[in-house]
């Protein structure tokens, strides 16, 4: 029995690709780390600390306007598949999910606001991790939303705060604002032109860091990078958000330039690469997730370059989320072996692209030149 019904749409708001630069910037995320006075933090928190935090959160959420209608999902009560789906939708971290065999720790929970973009992880590395997840490049909007939630929650909960350091956190790197602002960007142009190394190095010099799709410790696949601020101390939240926004816009510019270079210097190779990716997605009978991500990267570049104009960014985003294992198992209504998973993934991609893919696949160069057949 699955708990899927408890999160049919949750965390999927960003798929709609409504935000600015949505073809390059998949999503914007703001998270704030908060802890409660009177309870040990992080690894030193004992079960009674954690349970008290969860109970305080439960009571507080009932009083917070922004959380009206929200639900608190306690992870130990959820089945494995639903927990997997929370991870795949980036509403829960690997850490919160706990060890694969042992499952989540007691008193871990995810609070899902009725208002889609907001959620709170309870008893992860910090007592609370407030999160706002929006489509495209919308740092200020996401910040305002999470800031408002933070303010309302802070009126109900005794945040641990130090007059000199700011908000106290489990890990010293988060002390201060407790803010991590991150954007998930797709940089195939910079990767293909081999400029990416230089750009990432430059980001390090201005206080940014990068990660893979699933956050800390995850690998970069399909040219999708999560860029975020590295430091939280010594700057106001607004300054951090503004700084990141400025840098990201620069990265987008570099990516745009790299794409123009591709079109100028290797139009045929680029076009071929994009259409081959489309052809494989359209017809393959088995797709490992990592290959899928690389092929999605190819067609996403095609959409950006207007070579696949009929494909919507929404479709691309959907293909990323619903092709992950827990989502595929959910759709199949049963567990899937890795081989079955690859087959179901391919079947899902085919069915979506046959409905939402380019209708005229044979547009393109040299089309009129087919040999006479005598």
374 binds its own copies (CB under 8 A): yes
Q: Are 86 and 76 in contact (CB under 8 A)?
A: no
Instruction: Show the tokens assigned to 136.
Output: 């495209």
CB of 263 to its own copies, least distance (A): 13
Q: Which residues are bridge partners to 99 per DSSP? A: 103
Residue (102 or 369) nearer to its own copies, CB: 369
CB of 38 to its own copies, least distance (A): 39
Interface residues for its own copies in 167-226 (CB under 8 A)? Answer: none
Instruction: Show the tokens assigned to 274.
Output: 């994009």
Binding mask 264-303 for its own copies (x = CB under 8 A): ----xx-xx--xx-xxxxxxxxx-----------------
Instruction: Show the tokens assigned to 192.
Output: 């293909």
Residue (56 or 323) nearer to its own copies, CB: 323
CA distance 256 to 251: 9
CB of 371 to its own copies, least distance (A): 3
Residue (54 or 319) nearer to its own copies, CB: 319
CB of 291 to its own copies, least distance (A): 11
CB of 298 to its own copies, least distance (A): 11
CA distance 346 to 344: 5
CB of 322 to its own copies, least distance (A): 5
Residue (128 or 277) nearer to its own copies, CB: 277
H-helix segments, the chain: 47-63, 80-88, 94-97, 139-156, 188-192, 196-205, 237-265, 267-283, 289-304, 313-321, 325-332, 338-356
CA distance 324 to 347: 13
Residue (55 or 335) nearer to its own copies, CB: 335
Binding mask 306-345 for its own copies (x = CB under 8 A): ------------x---x----xx-xxx------x---xx-
H-helix segments, 163-208: 188-192, 196-205
Q: Are 54 and 120 in contact (CB under 8 A)?
A: no
Residue (175 or 343) nearer to its own copies, CB: 343
- Cα 187 off chain centre by: 15
Whether the CA torsion 276, 279, 283, 289 is positive or negative: it is positive
CB of 277 to its own copies, least distance (A): 9
CA distance 124 to 359: 46
Whether the CA torsion 325, 96, 106, 98 is positive or negative: it is positive
Q: Among 1, 9, 99, 306, which residue interacts with its own copies (rule: CB under 8 A)?
A: 9
Residue (50 or 327) nearer to its own copies, CB: 327
CB of 69 to its own copies, least distance (A): 17
Residue (160 or 352) nearer to its own copies, CB: 352
Residue 76: how many other CB atoms lie within 10 Å: 13
Total residues contacting its own copies (rule CB under 8 A)? 47
Binding mask 343-362 for its own copies (x = CB under 8 A): xx-xxx-xxx-x------xx
Strands (E) located in the chain: 25-34, 71-74, 109-112, 118-122, 128-135, 161-162, 166-167, 179-186, 208-211, 224-229
Residue 5: how many other CB atoms lie within 10 Å: 7
Residues that bind its own copies (CB under 8 A): 8-9, 12, 268-269, 271-272, 275-276, 278-286, 318, 322, 327-328, 330-332, 339, 343-344, 346-348, 350-352, 354, 361-362, 364-367, 369-374
């Amino acid at each position: 029995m699955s708990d899927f019904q408890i999160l049919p749409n949750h965390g999927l708001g960003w798929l709609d690709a409504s935000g600015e630069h949505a073809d390059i910037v998949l999503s914007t995320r703001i998270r704030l780390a908060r802890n409660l006075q009177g309870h040990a933090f992080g690894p030193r928190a004992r079960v009674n600390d954690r349970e008290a935090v969860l109970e305080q959160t439960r009571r507080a959420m009932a009083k917070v306007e922004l959380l009206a209608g929200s639900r608190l999902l306690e992870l130990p009560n959820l089945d494995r598949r639903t927990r997997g789906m929370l991870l795949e939708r980036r509403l829960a971290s690997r850490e919160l999910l706990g060890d694969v065999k042992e499952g989540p720790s007691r008193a871990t929970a995810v609070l899902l606001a009725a208002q889609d973009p907001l959620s709170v992880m309870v008893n992860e590395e910090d007592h609370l991790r407030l999160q706002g997840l929006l489509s495209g490049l919308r740092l200020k909007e996401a910040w305002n939303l999470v800031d408002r939630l933070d303010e309302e929650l802070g009126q109900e909960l005794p945040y641990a705060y130090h007059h000199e350091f700011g908000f106290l956190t489990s890990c010293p790197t988060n002390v201060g604002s407790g803010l991590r602002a991150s954007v998930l960007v797709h940089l195939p142009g910079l990767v293909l032109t081999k400029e990416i190394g230089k750009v990432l190095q430059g980001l390090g010099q201005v206080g940014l860091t990068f990660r893979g799709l699933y956050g800390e410790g995850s690998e970069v696949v399909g040219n999708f990078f999560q860029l975020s601020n590295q430091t939280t101390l010594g700057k106001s939240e607004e300054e951090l958000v503004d700084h990141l926004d400025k840098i990201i816009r620069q990265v987008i510019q570099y990516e745009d330039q790299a794409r123009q270079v591709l079109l100028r210097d290797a139009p045929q190779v680029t076009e071929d690469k994009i259409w081959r990716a489309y052809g494989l997605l359209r017809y393959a009978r088995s797709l490992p997730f990592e290959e899928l991500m690389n092929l999605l990267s190819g067609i996403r570049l095609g959409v950006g370059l207007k070579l696949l104009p009929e494909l919507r960014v929404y479709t691309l985003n959907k293909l990323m989320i619903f092709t992950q294992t827990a989502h595929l198992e959910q759709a199949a209504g049963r567990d899937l072996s890795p081989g079955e998973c690859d087959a179901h993934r391919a079947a899902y991609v085919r069915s979506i692209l046959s409905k939402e893919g380019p209708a005229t696949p044979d547009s393109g160069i040299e089309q009129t030149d087919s040999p006479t057949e005598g």
